[in-house]
Structure 1
Amino acid sequence: MGIVSEEEAIDELQKLINQVEGPLKKTFEKVHQGYLRENLSRFLKARDWNVSKAHTMLLDCLRWRVDSEIDSILSKPIVPSELYRDVRDSQLIGMSGYTREGLPVFAIGVGLSTFDKASVHYYVQSHIQINEYRDRVLLPSMSKKNGRPITTCVKVLDMTGLKLSALSQIKLVTIISTIDDLNYPEKTNTYYVVNAPYIFSACWKVVKPLLHERTTKKVHVLSGSGKDELLKIMDYTSLPHFCRRGSSGSSHHTQSVDCFSVDHPFHQQLYSYVKHHYETQGQGEPAKQGSFHVGFPEPGADGVQIVKTIESEMHNLENRNGLGKPVDDRKVSP
């Protein structure tokens, strides 16, 4: 008998996943944090509500978590603190606040991230720690505060500084995005793209047709810094620092704190949380330098095609640009 509703699909997947035991069951509890049906729904959405495919995806995710010891990653600080500062300076991500509906607002400096101050393993470790802190600390806390399940976030992508040289970072970005696609599906409600230069517009034009409609509907390219549009869903205090310029009405506000900085309250709280959990495990020795190695999943055929398309388009832009004005200096509107 075919599945005729989303609720029935969730019921079917729940029956299947109830059969898992041992380490898989334990790590799944870390995933759903008491919001079982909402999290089963995420995997079903990622597989177009095909129960069998969603079941396979979820089992693969749970095995990855067990094999890579993801449950303990929030007790593995990146040390020394100077190395963590280097990671933060070159992998620009932070949390600036919450939407009026209670969703965490994550800011990502796509254009200015250099990923050149640490090994790939530290960047992956840091990214997963932020994911796990979001899912195991922030979202459950906001769910309780708001009296309803809050299981997603919004992301504001700052394209300032995006250049053709970003081609060298595609491999690392692909690793991180593949980890998210396979193991943290449907965790982002909406992507807002701001400060987009011409190079982004050109790449988005060729990549958009390759993406699932479910994904493209989430992406909103905003004009300029996107401030006016973002203020419709969040207060000024939750705007990422790079969105607070431009438009009227900001002169009476104080200068915002850079939410990418290691000194921002979000990163201080996250780092303190990880250090505390390391220390409370009864470790006799100080944490030693050494990245937390995680298995890197192979990107699917669609992911490979998207990367090749981006590489091809960026090479075309480079060839067309010649000795003219740098294409990454030209701003575009949505």
Structure 2
Amino acid sequence: MFLFKSSQHHDGNDPIQRDAKVKELKVALGPLSGRNAKFCTDACLRRYLEARNWNVDKAKKMVEETLKWRDAYKPEEIRWHEVAHEGETGKVSRANFHDREGRTVLIMRPGKQNTTSAEGNVRHLVYLLENAILNLPEGQEQMVWMIDYTGFSMSTSLSVRTARDIINILQNHYPERLGIAVLYNPPRIFYAFWRAVKYFLDPKTSQKVKFVYPKNKDSAELMRSYFDVENLPKEFGGNATLEYDHEEFSRMMAEDDVKASRYWGFDDKPSYAAQGCVTRDITVQSILPSGHSKAEVAPEPF
């Protein structure tokens, strides 16, 4: 349950003015090379400006902090074989379908938490965020989170401290990446955790969170507006079957590791999963995106 922080207001909607802001930010950052230049696309700079209300100075500081973090943490160098043990239960995985807007979907299952390592959980999630971004269609900057609370308990939940640490990374280094977060059938016990985590989120981010419940008319309408329900997994109110296969998912991630290496300009880090060193046990039925309608956010149940 970790979301992306973003701004509450915008400095006008004039495309020409915003293009000028992007150019101004480019000049302010100065010459960039290597991975920094690859990272700082116009679309990327727009997200940072959006997150800082189109204030160039604040956006510049935010970008520079991210570049420092990426240089130290090297998220683009994380490989599946390094984090595969965190994903054995399918607690976080990338679906092989998109929403109606073509956004990459990450499926989360808090009830399948299988480790207690704060750093391991963070590194696993960062890997999958980078992978989700790698698989965004051209022109799309955001992703979708679908969170299934089957089996959730406080004993399987991450600590508030770990959640806070993850939120700090996401809000500072992945601004404006979240399109929608679907919280499917969270139990009453979850609300205490949600209130604690929500404290660290800004209001605009909170508004992207949709509480969805089985056999609820508003929830069903909400899901139909964002997804092809005929292919949506049953766990989220659809008709398709969702089965996590760790070996199949590992093969898919190994292939994406090769794509990531090529994208970032290095091919010298082997993918051991591709060489057969996969663990056990995702993928869901393929869903083709169609339509572009939306529905109002379902109100929070408290």
Q: How far off is 1:52 after superposition?
A: 1.6
Q: How far off is 1:135 after superposition?
A: 1.9
> Which residue identity is paired with 1:281?
D
Cα distance, 1:209–1:122 mapped onto 2, change above 3 Å: closer
Q: How far off is 1:188 after superposition?
A: 0.8
Residue number among 30, 34, 37 corresponding to 1:26 in the alignment = 34
1:319 alignment partner in structure 2: none
Q: How far off is 1:57 after superposition?
A: 0.5
Indicate whether 1:16 and 2:25 are aligned. Answer: yes
Alignment partners' CA distance in 1, 2:155 and 2:57? 41
2:267 alignment partner in structure 1: 281
Alignment partners' CA distance in 2, 1:39 and 1:276? 20
Task: Judge conservation of contact 2:257–2:271 (CA < 8 Å) in 1.
Answer: no
Q: How far off is 1:46 after superposition?
A: 1.9
Q: Judging by fraction of residues, say which structure has more helix.
A: 1
SS at match of 1:232: helix
Indicate whether 1:95 and 2:80 are aligned. Answer: no
Alignment partners' CA distance in 2, 1:55 and 1:171? 28
1:269 alignment partner in structure 2: 252
1:177-188 paired onto structure 2 within 5 Å? 177-188=167-178
Residue deviations 1:287-319 (CA, integer Å, cap 9, x gap): 9xxxxxxxxxxxxxxxxxxxxxxxxxxxxxxxx
Indicate whether 1:174 and 2:164 are aligned. Answer: yes
SS at match of 1:221: strand
Alignment partners' CA distance in 2, 1:49 and 1:240? 39
1:133 alignment partner in structure 2: 131
1:58 alignment partner in structure 2: 63
Task: Work out the number of aligned pairs and report it.
Answer: 260
1:41 alignment partner in structure 2: 46
1:143-182 paired onto structure 2 within 5 Å? 143=138, 149-166=139-156, 169-182=159-172
Residue deviations 1:24-65 (CA, integer Å, cap 9, x gap): 543344335x5x1x3222112222333221111111101211
Indicate whether 1:191 and 2:191 are aligned. Answer: no
Cα distance, 1:224–1:66 mapped onto 2, change above 3 Å: same
Alignment partners' CA distance in 1, 2:123 and 2:271? 21
Alignment partners' CA distance in 2, 1:185 and 1:223? 28
Residue deviations 1:218-246 (CA, integer Å, cap 9, x gap): 1111123855531322113652452146x
Alignment partners' CA distance in 1, 2:118 and 2:198? 27
2:242 alignment partner in structure 1: 257
* Larger CA deviation: 181-190 vs 64-73: 64-73
Cα distance, 1:10–1:176 mapped onto 2, change above 3 Å: farther
Q: How far off is 1:258 after superposition?
A: 2.4
Cα distance, 1:134–1:218 mapped onto 2, change above 3 Å: same
Q: How far off is 1:268 after superposition?
A: 2.9
Alignment partners' CA distance in 1, 2:143 and 2:27? 27
Q: How far off is 1:66 after superposition?
A: 1.7
Alignment partners' CA distance in 2, 1:163 and 1:60? 35
Q: How far off is 1:187 after superposition?
A: 0.4
Q: How far off is 1:127 after superposition?
A: 1.9
Task: Judge conservation of contact 1:115–1:169 (CA < 8 Å) in 2.
Answer: no
Structure 2: which 5+ runs fail to align? 1-10, 274-299
Alignment partners' CA distance in 1, 2:180 and 2:257? 28
Give the greater-gyration-radius structure (CA). 1
Alignment partners' CA distance in 2, 1:286 and 1:109? 26
Q: How far off is 1:86 after superposition?
A: 4.8
SS at match of 1:89: coil
Q: Once superposed, what is the RMSD of the aligned Cα atoms?
A: 3.6
Query: Percent identical across equivalent pairs?
Result: 20
SS at match of 2:88: helix
2:228 alignment partner in structure 1: 235
TM-score by length of 1: 0.64
Residue deviations 1:47-90 (CA, integer Å, cap 9, x gap): 233322111111110121122233433xx3425xxx72453327
Cα distance, 1:285–1:127 mapped onto 2, change above 3 Å: closer
Task: Judge conservation of contact 1:124–1:176 (CA < 8 Å) in 2.
Answer: yes
